[in-house]
Chains A and B, each alone.
Chain A
Amino acid sequence: MAMVKNRSFGSRAFNVFNYVFLGLIGLAMVFPLVFVILGSFSVTGMVGGFTAFSWDAYRFVFSTKALAKSTVNSVLITVCGTAVNIFFTSFTAYALSKKFLPGRGVLMGVVIFFMLFNPGMIPNFLTVNSLGMLDSWWSLWLPVAISAYNMVIMKNFFQGLPDSIEESAEIDGCNYLQVFLRIVVPISKASFATIILFYAVGHWNSYFTALLYINDMQKWPIQVWLRQIIVLSVGGFSDQDNLSEFAKVPQDSVKYAVIVVSTLPIIIVYPFLQKYFAKGALLGSVKG
């Protein structure tokens, strides 16, 4: 396109419109977040604009037991959940990347079948219930241990590695597990990073599974508290001794701060997300 020069008036007018229009769209996409970040530091909750800077909203958020705890919960759920994902997904992807392995076709068939067919909310719930995992974080980790989509992306990556590395290791007496851990993992860091990001964002943002499987408020992730505080307006500040403190902080700033806290990890890793996810989105759509 860049080579084609077209200097008609209509063409130039369109360019101007297009640049302005896309710029506005782009701003509309980031404005709410920027506003909320500013608002969380504003003493008035942005009413009358940003007048003065203050940490009070955050000081309050982390002084309440419920919110501080749920932030820690979210971090633990994300870190451990991603570790479970990586264990299950990378082992599966590596073994299934060996095209010569008898039985591989059947297993890939199973994977594809359950990509298209989900037993549904109630059967999944009854399963978790019958395993005694309700109210345990295992219910947030094990039922989603393998995402077929991520596993296929990783399998395709392993298939692209040269066979020669592994063959020489085999001659040296390494078994497949040793080859995987000592040779394949170290040379596949980029692939692992991508999949770790995929899973971690999923766990951090996950809201409904926690609502479904976790009744104990002490174990809730921050996404569930977010709804309690903002959508249901039930407060969520269970410790009464803090209410006097709450009266001094503008309520809006606190709400903004809760949104910021529950988005912060995403914003921090966003530059990496953009790079890897765009690639992943295409891989997934091309390979199916």
Chain B
Amino acid sequence: MAKAQTYKKMSFGRALVRYKWLYIMLIPMLAFYLIFKFYPATYLIIAFQDYWPTTGIAGSEWVGWANFQKIFKGTATFSFWQLFSNTLILAIYNLLFYFPIPIILALLLNEVRHLGYKKIVQSFVYLPHFLSWSVIIGLVYVFLGSNGYVNKLLTQAGRANIAPLMDPNWFRPLIVMEVIWKEAGWGTIIYLAALSGVDEQLYEAAVVDGANRWKQLLHITFPAIRGTIITLFILRMGTFMDTGFEQIFLMSNTKNRSLSQVFDTYIYDQGIKKAHYSFSTALGIFKSVISLILVITTNKIANWVGEEGVY
């Protein structure tokens, strides 16, 4: 406290001298944020240009909203609605089929009273979280690929081979199953932490009142994690449009392109591969704006129904 008071009286010039070494230690951080955060942000302006690196921002032609209009008009290779619906459907699939799984898993783990068994299960289900997407998609290919293990077994048994990775109908289910495999276990951590805070006496009192385990779950356990569920739901909305870029990029191929082309992969395709920098930057901005709207809307709805929300 004494220090805080002296600081109020101290001019910034004197602080610079007094805390010289602390400011010197901040130089790398300042350089980092200037070069790799603020400086890239200035490139957002090229969304309103017909930008080319050799002419630079100063020398490139201004085109107003033309790049954004092009997003809605679409091009020869894509239509806006296809891109938008692919992104949206994958996000909705993940929300419907992935989001509840960690909650259920956490509730089941919470019912395990043998601590040793619980620990073992936990250390198994956390493992996939630490594997990279390229390893996980690699695993999917060695099992389900056209030369994969499953097909070897089918051939041995004299049965017809399968090709789910080349079948567009399997694209979305596979994406969701991979997400569940990788993240469901890890996702339980935050719920288990919330559950560990529940007062034991509540359960004891409930038993005395004749509540069975289902009733206890409904009236004690579930209310304890409801706030956490809502917070995570809103936070998820912020990354709703992100739809796991690395995963989708690795899973996409020429056969499933019509379903696997999402905002991020299209930005990569247009910006990095085809060097349409201005158009892809506009697309990136468009995506960020939608994400922002989604977070704000969800938070508003949460507040409106009487929950706390994240801000």
Stretch from A23-31, A52-60, A239-247 that touches the partner: A23-31
Chain A residue at smallest Cβ distance from B190: A285
Jot down 11 A-B pairs with beta carbons below 8 A, ordered by A.
Answer: A3-B200, A6-B212, A19-B117, A22-B121, A100-B3, A120-B40, A120-B281, A120-B285, A123-B41, A124-B36, A231-B138
Chain A residue at smallest Cβ distance from B231: A285
Chain A residues within 8 Å of B125, by CB: 25-26, 29
Query: Are the CB atoms of B12 and A102 closer together than 8 Å?
Result: yes
Known: A33-B127, A122-B280. A262 touches B132 (CB 8 A): yes
Query: Are the CB atoms of A231 and B141 closer together than 8 Å?
Result: yes
B209 interface residue per 8 A CB criterion: no
Chain A residues within 8 Å of B62, by CB: none
A142 interface residue per 8 A CB criterion: yes
Known: A111-B33, A204-B132, A266-B131; 6 extra A-B contacts, CB below 8 A, are A26-B121, A48-B156, A91-B26, A95-B23, A95-B26, A274-B126
Docked pose: A130 CA to B57 CA in angstroms: 12
Q: How many residues of B contact A (CB 8 A)?
A: 93
Query: Are the CB atoms of A201 and B130 closer together than 8 Å?
Result: yes
Query: Are the CB atoms of A126 and B108 closer together than 8 Å?
Result: no
A92 interface residue per 8 A CB criterion: yes
Docked pose: A231 CA to B166 CA in angstroms: 12
Q: Which 3 A-B pairs have the closest CB atoms?
A: A205-B132, A26-B124, A123-B43
Docked pose: A143 CA to B40 CA in angstroms: 10
Which of B121, B135, B149, B213 sits near A6, CB closer than 8 Å? Answer: B213
Query: Are the CB atoms of B138 and A230 closer together than 8 Å?
Result: yes
Docked pose: A110 CA to B289 CA in angstroms: 20
Docked pose: A282 CA to B232 CA in angstroms: 13
Docked pose: A234 CA to B38 CA in angstroms: 39
Looking at chain A's contact residues, the main secondary structure is helix
B305 interface residue per 8 A CB criterion: no
Query: Are the CB atoms of B137 and A231 closer together than 8 Å?
Result: yes
Query: Are the CB atoms of A103 and B12 closer together than 8 Å?
Result: yes
Query: Are the CB atoms of A127 and B108 closer together than 8 Å?
Result: no
User: In the complex, what's the smallest C-beta–C-beta distance from A99 to chain B, in angstroms?
Assistant: 7
Contact with B along A250-285 (1 / 0, CB 8 A): 011001101100110010001001100110011001
Contact with B along A205-236 (1 / 0, CB 8 A): 11110001000000000011011001101000
Query: Are the CB atoms of A176 and B25 closer together than 8 Å?
Result: yes
B61 interface residue per 8 A CB criterion: no
Chain A residues within 8 Å of B24, by CB: 177
Chain B residues within 8 Å of A143, by CB: 36
Looking at chain B's contact residues, the main secondary structure is helix
Chain B residues within 8 Å of A95, by CB: 22-23, 25-26, 29
Contact with B along A69-88 (1 / 0, CB 8 A): 00000000000000000011
Chain B residues within 8 Å of A281, by CB: 186, 189-190
Chain B residues within 8 Å of A6, by CB: 207, 212-213
Stretch from B72-80, B92-100, B267-275 that touches the partner: B267-275
Query: Are the CB atoms of A175 and B21 closer together than 8 Å?
Result: yes
B7 interface residue per 8 A CB criterion: yes
Which of A23, A122, A176, A231 sits near B281, CB closer than 8 Å? Answer: A122
User: In the complex, what's the smallest C-beta–C-beta distance from B183 to chain A, in angstroms?
Assistant: 11
A162 interface residue per 8 A CB criterion: no
B163 interface residue per 8 A CB criterion: no
User: In the complex, what's the smallest C-beta–C-beta distance from B17 to chain A, in angstroms?
Assistant: 12
Q: How many residues of A contact B (CB 8 A)?
A: 99
User: In the complex, what's the smallest C-beta–C-beta distance from B295 to chain A, in angstroms?
Assistant: 9
User: In the complex, what's the smallest C-beta–C-beta distance from B289 to chain A, in angstroms?
Assistant: 12
Chain B residue at smallest Cβ distance from A98: B22
Docked pose: A122 CA to B40 CA in angstroms: 9
Contact with B along A162-183 (1 / 0, CB 8 A): 0000000000000111001000
Chain A residue at smallest Cβ distance from B139: A32
Tell me the chain B residues, 161-181 only, with Cβ under 8 Å from chain A. Answer: 181
Query: Are the CB atoms of B36 and A252 closer together than 8 Å?
Result: no
Query: Are the CB atoms of A252 and B149 closer together than 8 Å?
Result: yes
Docked pose: A123 CA to B283 CA in angstroms: 12
Which of A22, A142, A270 sits near B130, CB closer than 8 Å? Answer: A270
Docked pose: A223 CA to B142 CA in angstroms: 15
User: In the complex, what's the smallest C-beta–C-beta distance from B296 to chain A, in angstroms?
Assistant: 12
User: In the complex, what's the smallest C-beta–C-beta distance from A234 to chain B, in angstroms?
Assistant: 13
Query: Are the CB atoms of A99 and B285 closer together than 8 Å?
Result: no
B89 interface residue per 8 A CB criterion: no
Chain B residues within 8 Å of A107, by CB: 26, 29
Chain B residues within 8 Å of A278, by CB: 126, 189
Chain A residues within 8 Å of B238, by CB: 116
**Highest count of chain A CB atoms <10 Å: which of B26, B42, B112:** B26
Known: A103-B12, A208-B245. A119 touches B134 (CB 8 A): no
User: In the complex, what's the smallest C-beta–C-beta distance from A55 to chain B, in angstroms?
Assistant: 19
Known: A124-B40, A226-B138. A88 touches B28 (CB 8 A): yes
User: In the complex, what's the smallest C-beta–C-beta distance from B195 to chain A, in angstroms?
Assistant: 9
**Highest count of chain A CB atoms <10 Å: which of B7, B114, B142, B280:** B142
